[in-house]
Amino acid sequence: MILTAFFAALGQMTDPRFRRVLLLGVALTLALLIAVSAVFIWFLGGLVGDQTSLPFIGEVSWLNDLVGWGSAVLLAILSTFLMVPVASAITSMFLDTVAQAVEDEHYPKLPKATPVPLSDALRDTVNFLGVLIGANILALVLYLIFAPAAPLIFWALNGFLLGREYFTLAAIRRVGRAEAKILRARHMPTIWIAGFLMAIPLSIPLLNLIIPILGAATFTHLFHLLQRQASHG
């Protein structure tokens, strides 16, 4: 079932609506990371000031430049690490477009879905973004402690979070938020496995940028396949 959903989603990746969501997601992600980096560097620069007095050295004027460059390097590393989680969260705001494209192509006889209100989509995106970033930052400690298992930890963590969120958002359009949570709990093992497999390509640069779109489409298929299985069971 998971592979059926994946290959059906993969076959639709040339859909213009998929490309539009991809470009929007990447553009908004880059804008957000650049803005946060600029504010962070400006804040640290303001704390240090143009001149700082150090014990046994006296007044120094180069510390501001050192903090600025050091912050830029640190933020570049963190931005690379957080690019995919942030892109995944932001892309979730446009999941309705991806899900509708999937249903138009593969499930044309379905009644019209109930779109998620923009305010709810924004709230879900902010919550999901906070959880993703927080979880991945906390996971850095586990990566250091269990270095050989770091890839597995990354895939398991992000697979769980992405699968949970994308399945819920796909289901909300058809059965509402309360029922979506019930279905998510019922099918969590399948959702986690699908999310784990989706998270593996997150480690591959460039390819990882299309994973949020592919994942959204895959979980839309998975929702419908699970519903079909339940109705026949």
Domain extent listing, the chain: 2-232
What per-residue string of b and e applies to 150-173 under the rule 16 or more CB within 10 Å gives b?
A: eeeebbbbbbbbbbbbbbbbbbbb
Integer Cα distance of 15 and 18 in angstroms: 5
Query: In terms of DSSP bridges, do strands 58-60 and 52-54 run parallel, antiparallel, or are they unpaired?
Result: antiparallel
pLDDT at 54 over 60: no
Name the burial class of residue 219, with classes exposed (0-12), middle (13-18) and buried (19+) by CB atoms within 10 angstroms of its CB.
buried
Kindly indicate the confidence band of residue 207, based on its pLDDT and cuts at 50, 70 and 90: confident
Place of tokens 């044309």: 108
pLDDT at 188: 95
Kindly indicate the confidence band of residue 226, based on its pLDDT and cuts at 50, 70 and 90: very high
pLDDT at 172 over 60: yes
pLDDT at 183 over 50: yes
Residues 175, 146 contacting (CB under 8 angstroms): no
Integer Cα distance of 86 and 29 in angstroms: 6
pLDDT at 73: 60
Query: What are the tens digits of pLDDT across the range 81-136?
Result: 666 666 666 666 777 888 899 999 999 988 988 877 778 877 887 888 788 878 88
What per-residue string of b and e applies to 56-80 under the rule 16 or more CB within 10 Å gives b?
A: eeeeeeebbeebeeebeeebeebbe
Place of tokens 């359009």: 173
pLDDT at 62: 44
Integer Cα distance of 128 and 145 in angstroms: 26
Report the first-to-last Cα separation within the chain, whole angstroms: 15
Residue among 80, 120, 93, 79 nearest 213 (CA) = 93
For the chain, the average pLDDT equals 79
For 179, half-sphere exposure in the C-beta direction (CA atoms, 13 angstrom radius) is 9
Please tell me the chain's helix, strand, coil percentages from 3-state DSSP, rounded to the nearest 5. 85, 5, 15
**What predicted TM-score, i.e. pTM, was given to this entire model?**
0.76
Query: What are the tens digits of pLDDT across the range 65-75?
Result: 555 555 556 55
Region of residue 176 (phi > 0: left; psi between -120 and 50: alpha; otherwise: beta): left
Integer Cα distance of 155 and 26 in angstroms: 21
pLDDT at 138 over 70: yes
Which residues lie closer than 8 Å to 157 by C-beta, 6 or more apart? 135, 136, 139
Higher pLDDT, 182 or 151: 182
Average pLDDT over residues 204-219: 81
